[in-house]
Structure 1
Amino acid sequence: MSKAFTKESDADDDDIMPETGVVGGGKNYITPQGYARLRAELLSLIDEERPKVVDIVHWAASNGDRSENGDYLYGKKRLREIDRRIRFLTKRLEIAEVVDPSVHAGSDQVFFGATVTYADDEGTERTVTILGVDEADNALQQVSWVSPVARALIKAREGDEVVLQTPAGTRTLEIVAVSYPQPQKSQ
């Protein structure tokens, strides 16, 4: 029988979950801003988006024949996607360990949350911010704390040279500058 005529099950959806990025029993560090962003997304899905889709599916189901009802079929698919994302976010937030990088403000040593400027062997400078797995965005010059470059930089200080193993070979990086966000003033 063709795959097109088989019943989809919710159990199949769990197989598609993205990798967690946490090594067996490891930590899932995240900044307070990243945690707030993930929590806001979770609450938005639960309180706003899911109820809207449920209403659409309910309306579409009341129209009769569900086998050829596009609103119903798309709505059910969208509900599975939303539920899968809710499960994922819930699990990630449960294991998250919130770390405030501003506690290191003024330090010249690289820790989680640092913005680091480094120069490679060829003199090319690059600035990256070391963030959690769930919040890092390479397009914004943010790297995950478990990435090879972050692992090489962590615990080094301004002026230090560190060795980075890459598929193309070994590279030497010199740390030019280290900065952290300033602590938030309490109201």
Structure 2
Amino acid sequence: MSRGFVKEEDQEDIPFVAPRAHLPEGITNYVTQNGMNELLLEKQAFSDEKEDLNITNEKERRIAINHINAKLQLLINRIATAKIVDLSKQPQDEIRFGAWVTLKVGGAKTPQKYQIVGVDEADIAKGKISFISPIAKLLTNKKIGEKAILKLAKEDRIFEILNIAYLNN
């Protein structure tokens, strides 16, 4: 039926769903096994949320389900394009996707530790940086003892690679 024959108050807004983490067109959606597990858990959580909706108003229920379905569709598309990287097959002496890297940053006394992960896994609070981030790109292919220099507007930031490890966590 044409929207012209539907009462205005019966029309539902299309729910706005924030996009997932940005993955540039043409870039492979690499994930760690842990990252894939997290995506699958998120998918299950959306399914559970949909089943457990406790909304009696039919219109509000439809809107809530449409919103969950929209988020679920974005997630399903991301899962479908994911390519799991086997960390045991990465060169263990070189920084690549999935590596936990211990760095000395500039003149800092305390080393910092980061893992290079997929865009959906990235969370700086957990020490996980996206493989498409400038720092990850700068560190890729480096080995222990090497330095990487990030050119900033007012200074150069030097990263010295202290350790590289591939852990499945």
TM-score range, shorter chain: 0.7 to 0.9
Return the alpha-carbon distance in structure 2 between the equivalents of residues 84 and 166 of structure 1: 39
The residue correspondences of 1:28-67 to structure 2 (distance < 5 A) are: 28-46=29-47, 48-53=48-53, 56-57=54-55, 59-61=56-58
Task: Summarize the Cα distance change of 1:144–1:34 in structure 2 as closer, same or farther, 3 Å threshold.
Answer: same
Residue pair 2:20, 2:120 contacting (<8 A) in 1 also:
no
Give the aligned CA root-mean-square deviation in angstroms.
Answer: 2.3
The residue correspondences of 1:128-139 to structure 2 (distance < 5 A) are 128-139=114-125
Query: Contact 2:12–2:63 (CA<8 Å) still a contact in 1?
Result: no
With normalisation by structure 1, the TM-score equals 0.74
Relative to 1, partners in 2 of residues 1:158 and 1:49: Cα closer, same or farther, differing over 3 Å? same
TM-score by length of 2: 0.81
Counterpart of 2:143 in structure 1 is 157
- Paired-residue identity, %: 26
When residues 87 and 151 of structure 1 are mapped into structure 2, their CA distance, relative to the original with a 3 A threshold, is same
> Residue 148 of structure 1 contacts residue 165 of structure 1 at CA under 8 Å; is this kept in 2?
no
C-alpha separation in 1, matches of 2:21 and 2:106: 33
| Structure-2 separation of matches of 1:20 and 1:7 | 30
Task: Find the partner of 1:118 among 103, 120, 123.
Answer: 103
Give 4+ residue runs of structure 1 displaced > 4 Å after superposition: 5-8
Q: Note closer, same or farther for the CA distance 1:25–1:123 as it changes in structure 2 (3 Å cut).
A: same
- C-alpha separation between the residues in 1 aligned to 2:154 and 2:31? 30
Structure 1 Cα separation of the partners of residues 41 and 98 of structure 2: 21
Deviation at 1:79, TM superposition (A): 2.1
Normalized per residue, the structure richer in helix is: 1
Give yes or no for contact 2:135–2:150 (8 Å, CA) kept in 1.
yes
How much has 1:76 moved relative to structure 2? Answer: 3.9
Instruction: Work out whether 1:17 is the aligned partner of 2:18.
Output: yes
Q: How many residue pairs align between the two structures? A: 159
Q: Which residue of 2 aligns with 1:173?
A: 159
Alpha-carbon distance, 1:102 to partner: 2.7
Distance 1:6 1:60, change over 3 A: closer
SS of 2:57's equivalent in the other structure is helix
Q: Please state how far the C-alpha of 1:167 moved relative to its aligned partner.
A: 4.6
Gaps of 5+ in 1: 62-71, 183-187
Q: Decide whether the 8 Å contact of 2:144 with 2:164 is kept in 1.
A: yes
Distance 1:40 1:77 in 2: 23
Deviation of the 1:24 alpha carbon: 1.6
Q: Deviations over 1:32-63 (max 9, x none)?
A: 111122112213322x221222xx34x433xx
